[in-house]
Amino acid sequence: MSRTEKENLALKHFHSTGIPNKATHEIGRAQAAKLLGLELIDENQEDYNAIRQTGPYRNIRIRTRRRTPETGSQRIGCGNTDQNFDSIVFVQLGEDFEVQEIWEAGKKDIVAKLDEPGSTARKERRSLIVYQFKNIAIKLWP
**Can you give the pTM of this predicted structure?**
0.88
Nearest to 88 by CA among 111, 115, 61: 61
pLDDT for position 87: 98
Mean pLDDT for the chain overall: 89
Nearest to 130 by CA among 48, 66, 57, 85: 66
Question: What pLDDT, in 10s, does the model give residues 59-97?
Answer: 999 999 998 888 888 999 998 999 999 999 999 999 888
CA distances from 108 to 29, 57, 79, 99, 138 (A): 22, 11, 14, 26, 14
Question: What pLDDT, in 10s, does the model give residues 89-104?
Answer: 999 999 888 999 999 9
The residue that leads in pLDDT, 30 or 121, is: 30
pLDDT for position 73: 82
In angstroms, the CA 65 to CA 138 distance is 17
Nearest to 138 by CA among 112, 101, 83: 101
Calculate mean pLDDT across residues 23-50: 89
66: domain CATH number is 3.40.210.10
Q: How confident is the model at residue 1 (pLDDT cuts 50, 70, 90)?
A: low
**Residue 21 pLDDT greater than 80, yes or no:** no
pLDDT for position 72: 80
What domain range includes position 70?
Answer: 5-141
Total tally of structural domains belonging to the chain: 1
In angstroms, the CA 125 to CA 113 distance is 13
